[in-house]
Amino acid sequence: MRSFAEATTVVGTRDGVYSSTLDDEWSIGKNPHGGYMMALLTRAALTAAERPHPLAVSAHFLRSPDAGEVELRTEPVKRGRLFTTVHARLVQGGKVCIDATVTAGELTDAPHEWEATQQPPIKPLHECDDHRLPTEGGLLGNIDVRLDPHSTAFLRGETSEGEVRGWMELTDGTDFNPLSLIVAVDLLPPTILGLGHTGWCPTVELTYQLRALPAPGPVAGYTRCDALHPDGWFNEDAFVYDSRGRLVAQSRQLALSGNALEGR
């Protein structure tokens, strides 16, 4: 089992182009995890930009690649004094699988000047359930996910509101950083499982924003769905807080219900 740093290693092959390998131990079932692939592509973009932090990443998931070799193609769009914008694509077998725009820069480790809301209430880590998704795959061997008991109603066949709360820790002993937080915003179970939907819910588009540098320790995640369309389209907003209770990352994604896919 490779650590996050090892699983997101990129090697330059020519100007702006990098090679890497999608690790099947960072998958849900047979599908490489979307946040993991987005983080891998972002690492290539940061390398090209020569900047340390992904301030914002917007990724469109065009097709699901297999575990194995991929090519990461980057093209700087603008180099500025405070940030650099890079267009990046994950390619496998000559086909673009993810198309992303990355805004790269550098954040200082300073508290927020102002915050609209505080971390939602989540049960302490030791009171949360050790969670394993009911699918084959190795992702949750790399990240320990502990769900607030209120968020596990779907495992008991019950319905609940469209939100999930829980804690996350990397099992390799490292702390979350600005890159691995991209995985964290896409890690908790789909919110619509609590609304009676089942199956894989593929991400179509995900926008990630880094809000602060995370402190050491586990991170708390809160996700919510505002609306589920009869055709299966739904949004999922994620907020991640560090051990200080500070908002460190957030995201919004457009996804499609597995129930809708089965009916097509």
Do 84 and 137 form a contact (C-beta atoms < 8 A)?
no
**Burial class of residue 167 (count of CB atoms within 10 Å of its CB; 0-12, 13-18, 19+):** buried
Chain mean position to CA 197? 21
Residue type (1 letter), 6: E
How far apart (Å, rounded) are the C-alpha atoms in residues 132 and 139? Answer: 10
Q: How confident is the model at residue 260 (pLDDT cuts 50, 70, 90)?
A: low
In this prediction, residue 133 has a pLDDT band, given cuts at 50, 70 and 90, of very low
DSSP state of 110: -
Q: Mean pLDDT across the stretch 145-171?
A: 84
Query: What tokens appear for 8 in the block?
Result: 């997101």
pLDDT band (50, 70, 90) for residue 81? very high
Cβ contact 209:55 at 8 Å? yes
Q: Which amino acid is at 198?
A: T
- pTM (2 decimals)? 0.93
Query: If you average pLDDT over every residue of the chain, what do you get?
Result: 91
Q: 101 exposed, middle or buried (CB, 10 Å; 0-12, 13-18, 19+)?
A: middle
